[in-house]
Amino acid sequence: MLRGARGAIQAKENSKDSILNAAENLMRALIETNGICVENVASAFFTVTPDLDAAFPAAVRNAIGWSLVPFLCGGEIPVPGSLERVIRVLILFETDRGHEEVRHQYLGVTAQLRPDLNRNL
């Protein structure tokens, strides 16, 4: 069954290293908690808030060994008062897990974005 795992993390600053480190931490958390195997991944879609433009978070694909997986980046809608420096991702992957068994990862301050999906609260 094709499932989606969502997650978010806040980058410390708008720099290439900060964006890529945050993206890698987020991806590794999703991979580990959901037992995601690269062979079962259909795609990954990142979005960033408008204040992050120093790097594409999709550049993390080589660091995690997913160089052949289709990745895409996009921008979030600039809603006034929204959390800054946020990287979000949606990974589509094949799994036997049911919807309720998928572990979404909203790390750090981004836990407030989806407390209904974040079991770490």
Q: One of 28, 97, 103, 114 is an active-site residue; which one?
A: 114
CA-based angle 65:59:54, to the nearest 5? 155
Asked about 85 being catalytic, the answer comes back as no
Is 97 an annotated catalytic residue? no
Answer yes or no: 101 catalytic: no
Active site residue 37: no
Residue 61 a catalytic site member: yes
Which residue among 24, 28, 73, 94 is the active-site one? 73
One of 24, 28, 76, 97 is an active-site residue; which one? 76
**Terminal Cα-to-Cα distance of the chain (whole angstroms):** 28
Residues carrying an active site annotation: 6, 61, 73, 76, 88, 106, 114
